[in-house]
Amino acid sequence: MLILGISAFYHDSAAALVEDGRIVAAAQEERFTRKKHDAGFPANAVRFCLEYGGTTLNELDAIVFYDKPLLKFERLLETYYAFAPRGLRSFLMAMPIWMKDKLFLKRLLRDELKKLGYDSKKPVKLLFPEHHLSHAASAFYPSAFEKAAILTIDGVGEWATASIGLGEGSTITVLKELHFPHSLGLLYSAFTYFLGFRVNSGEYKLMGLAPYGDPHSPEVDRYVDLIKTKLVEIKDDGSLWLDQNYFDYATGLRMVHEKKWETLFGFPKRKPEDELKPAHCNLGLAIQRVTEEVVITMAREAQRLTHTENLVLAGGVALNCVANGKLQKSGIFKRIFIQPAAGDAGGALGAALAAYYVYFGKERNIDDNDDALCGSYLGPTFSDLEVELMAKKYKAVYSYYDDFGNLTDDIAQLLANENVVGWVQGRMEFGPRALGARSILGDPRSAGMQKKLNLKIKYRESFRPFAPAVLAEDCGQYFNYDGISPYMLLVHPVRENRRKPLPAEYDGLSLREKLYFQRSDLPSITHIDFSARIQTVHRETNLRFWQLIDAFKKRTGCAVLINTSFNVRGEPIVNTPDDAYRCFMRTEMDYLVLGNYIFDKKYQPAWPEKTEWKSEFGLD
């Protein structure tokens, strides 16, 4: 049985193909169009999934869209009615789009599918599960758990903004839902907006900014108190009530009423690219603390309702890896699985799986030892011929290695000499994290590597941390965690014996002064609070990346590399060899590895394009 899942028309469009319950392929549309968070119909992603699966649209048993548009339209109308006369301008802007396209989504989907060869005379079943069921299915069905509590938290689907469910075998039962406009995801996005980052893409920046707040400052405690007394009431079960007098997202064109927030917190909305001041950092820390409290409280309620020892997480808030680490450390659940494509892109996969198990009622086969996501390496791959054709196109100079072991030895030495390496191998990752297939790598022992990567390679804000990729079997030697974290979705502390003491005046230093203080013997992956967003690398799911880190360990004694996504700021992660070479040449990266081919920057011809990347990719 072949089922295609699709998410589209909001942000992070994607497609996924499932055959007899097995995940065949999944990819985000942005990787093909080069438009970050592309919301359009995922024609390229659909085409890839079908080609990889060796099938056509007319051979499918079902095509599944990740939410119910009519239910979402009902929420829209009821919300505008409830808040009237507020929101008239927003209503007048939204209605033409709904009346033209979104309200007639079946027709729109069929029209788009026809362009890809769909024969409407032989209609395939078209299904529409609810948004949070798609999230729940994306996390539970690929997990290694026969039974688990399911927690989904995001901005909003149709009505639901969070849900607690129980997964058993092939069934999912929704036990509790939180409804719009009360939403943890939208609350966090409101602070993302107020602190000068872009909603639906900058939330991870806010999470990275939070540790720069002073944990001992009474200002942080005051901000937490203001959030919990003025903006949001947190119930005993983790549900929320948000005072809509302070927010504008329900019917307006902005997230918050800026003047009210300015009065409440004592400073105006930060403009993008403005200097980050202590108050911004302290407010970021405050909302992160509130978020962690809510997530943990919701998890306790999920455990109370389900009495299980396993938890699965999905929805955009599940990408808050700091909260995930705190949740894991809390011990509420024995085992936790987090969907790596936890946001809307993962809804495409969840929709397909929900159709297979819920609608068609199929039995589930479970691997008790591993999840079914294949390390999240579900996207396109490339051939040697594609690399060589790309090299001819740009007159690029390369070396080819017949022996991959020799290649990893040489790259390990280049990394140990503080070179920055673009690393492209095999199938592309599904989800927002580069996991060693489309990565930029560096030496975490280098004190200057974080600054170099941020300012000369990624061209992004200097405060942004980098994640360590560590051999799974060696994780406990570097971090206060000896479990697995294959999807870079857990934050845990660097071991105490690797830390360096902070000076007495540390809390009073500026953000920039704090940033470049060496906090451990792995300074470029140790965040300001001694934490790290860990990726454990496993032989079973990414042998080539494991071999490279192992070669680096043999050469240096260090089983850790810096792993960041292969892109510049505002650009989607690279997909093809062509994407990778262009990004390589536009930055100060030193080497590019494509499969068994190595490109040394020193020997490449001058880059012919005059256009800078900033004119092609908008800042995120």
Give whole-number Cα distances, 294 to 125, 208, 602, in Å: 39, 19, 51
Position 447 scores a pLDDT of 87
Does residue 616 contact residue 568 with C-beta atoms inside 8 Å?
Answer: no
Which tokens sit at 358?
A: 């819920």
Least confident of 316-330, 446-460, 553-567: 446-460
CB-based contacts of 388, cutoff 8 Å, min separation 6: none
In angstroms, the CA 187 to CA 255 distance is 9
Position 98 scores a pLDDT of 62
**608 pLDDT band (50/70/90 cuts)?**
confident
Closest Cα to residue 130, out of 85, 181, 71?
71
What tens digit of pLDDT does each residue of 198-250 get? 998 889 999 999 999 999 899 999 999 999 999 999 999 999 999 999 999 88
The one-character DSSP state at 3 is: E
Position 390 scores a pLDDT of 98
Position 25 scores a pLDDT of 98
Position 252 scores a pLDDT of 78
Position 86 scores a pLDDT of 72
Max avg pLDDT among 99-103, 107-111, 273-277, 484-488: 484-488
Asked whether residue 506 carries a pLDDT value surpassing 80, the answer given is no
**135 pLDDT band (50/70/90 cuts)?**
very high
Asked whether residue 514 carries a pLDDT value surpassing 80, the answer given is no
**505 pLDDT band (50/70/90 cuts)?**
confident
In angstroms, the CA 421 to CA 604 distance is 15
Closest Cα to residue 287, out of 177, 391, 186, 201?
186
What tens digit of pLDDT does each residue of 530-545 get? 999 999 999 999 999 9
Position 75 scores a pLDDT of 78
Position 510 scores a pLDDT of 75
In angstroms, the CA 301 to CA 308 distance is 11
Q: How many CB atoms lie under 10 A from the CB of residue 570?
A: 17
Using a pLDDT cut of 70, give the percent of the chain over it.
94
Tell me how many degrees the CA angle 543-548-554 measures, rounded to the nearest 5.
Answer: 120
Asked whether residue 49 carries a pLDDT value surpassing 70, the answer given is yes
**101 pLDDT band (50/70/90 cuts)?**
low
Least confident of 72-81, 193-202, 264-273: 72-81
Does residue 155 contact residue 75 with C-beta atoms inside 8 Å?
Answer: no
Asked whether residue 95 carries a pLDDT value surpassing 80, the answer given is no
What tens digit of pLDDT does each residue of 362-380 get? 999 888 778 999 999 999 9
> In 294-425, which ranges are E strands?
310-314, 335-338, 399-400, 421-424
What tens digit of pLDDT does each residue of 165-193 get? 999 999 999 999 999 999 999 999 999 99
Does residue 315 contact residue 162 with C-beta atoms inside 8 Å?
Answer: yes
Closest Cα to residue 347, out of 185, 71, 137, 103?
137
Q: What is the mean pLDDT of residues 375-402?
A: 98
CATH domain 384-616 topology: DHBP synthase (3.90.870)
Q: Residue written as tokens 């980050």?
A: 276
Position 448 scores a pLDDT of 87
Does residue 351 contact residue 63 with C-beta atoms inside 8 Å?
Answer: no
Phi and psi for 39 in degrees, rounded to 5? -100, -5
Class of domain 143-338: alpha beta
Mean of per-residue pLDDT scores for the chain: 92
Position 610 scores a pLDDT of 55
> What residue ranges do the domains of the chain occupy?
1-136+341-372, 143-338, 384-616
For residue 331, the one-letter residue type is G
Asked whether residue 613 carries a pLDDT value surpassing 70, the answer given is no
Position 283 scores a pLDDT of 98
Which tokens sit at 378?
A: 């579900």
Q: What is the helix (H) or strand (E) element at residue 241, kind and residue range?
A: strand 240-242
Position 503 scores a pLDDT of 80
Asked whether residue 144 carries a pLDDT value surpassing 80, the answer given is yes
Q: What is the mean pLDDT of residues 39-62?
A: 97
Is there a common fold for 1-136+341-372 and 143-338?
yes
Q: How many CB atoms lie under 10 A from the CB of residue 176?
A: 16
Q: Residue written as tokens 């943890």?
A: 184
Position 512 scores a pLDDT of 72
Asked whether residue 388 carries a pLDDT value surpassing 60, the answer given is yes
**620 pLDDT band (50/70/90 cuts)?**
low
User: Between 577-586 and 384-394, two packed helices, what is the crossing angle to 10 degrees?
Assistant: 40
**342 pLDDT band (50/70/90 cuts)?**
very high
Instruction: Judge residue 237's burial from the number of C-beta atoms within 10 Å of its C-beta, 0-12 exposed, 13-18 middle, 19 or more buried.
Output: middle
Q: What is the helix (H) or strand (E) element at residue 225, kind and residue range?
A: helix 218-226
Asked whether residue 11 carries a pLDDT value surpassing 90, the answer given is no
CATH domain 1-136+341-372 topology: Nucleotidyltransferase; domain 5 (3.30.420)
Position 588 scores a pLDDT of 92
Which tokens sit at 57?
A: 């649209």
What tens digit of pLDDT does each residue of 472-501 get? 999 999 999 999 999 999 999 999 999 998
Asked whether residue 88 carries a pLDDT value surpassing 70, the answer given is no
**284 pLDDT band (50/70/90 cuts)?**
very high
Chain centre to alpha carbon of residue 277: 26
